[in-house]
Structure 1
Amino acid sequence: MATLPPEIPPERSLIEYPSDFPIKVMGARVEGFVEAIARVAQQFDPGFDAATIEQRPSSGGRYLGLTLTIRATSREQLDELYRTLSTHPMVKVVL
């Protein structure tokens, strides 16, 4: 059973808000993946521009890595965005 990392108090956060924050997402290279992930990002950052998503296919071409840079306004926003992306059916990994 995996243990969760200890909760870091907001005053000890290394991230200053607001700031631009990159998030890496990997999923199968299928039709609609980029658009689905862009819609999630826009839910948490209404000013997010899908045209800024960086795409990198895996060496075998089966997977697609995306880098989204969102405007982070709070730790709660980032935590919820990570949870939402991590549970998305098209997503394999979120970093």
Structure 2
Amino acid sequence: MMELMEISKKALPKAEEALNKKPESVSSLEKTEKGWRMEVQVLERKAVPDSFDLLSVFELSLDASGNVLGFKQIKKMRRGDLLG
């Protein structure tokens, strides 16, 4: 079984390819019966000030090796919403 950091490192470039957007961060990563579930935040729209940037959170299903099996958008929010 791959360690969390290995899965995260391997899955992030594949997530970027699947989403066609570069993930800014991984907000969760957990083992499932069939592999892994990962949530990432991606920048949808840059704004000034930064606290008004629009972010999307995506949940990705990964196989045991970190390959993306599927994904869905689960939330949109402003960056400032993370602070409060």
Shorter-chain TM-score: what band? 0.3 to 0.5
**Looking at CA atoms only, which structure, 1 or 2, has the larger radius of gyration?**
1
Higher helix share: 1
Return the TM-score normalized by structure 1: 0.31
Return the TM-score normalized by structure 2: 0.34
Higher relative contact order (CA 8 A, sep 6+): 1
Higher strand share: 2
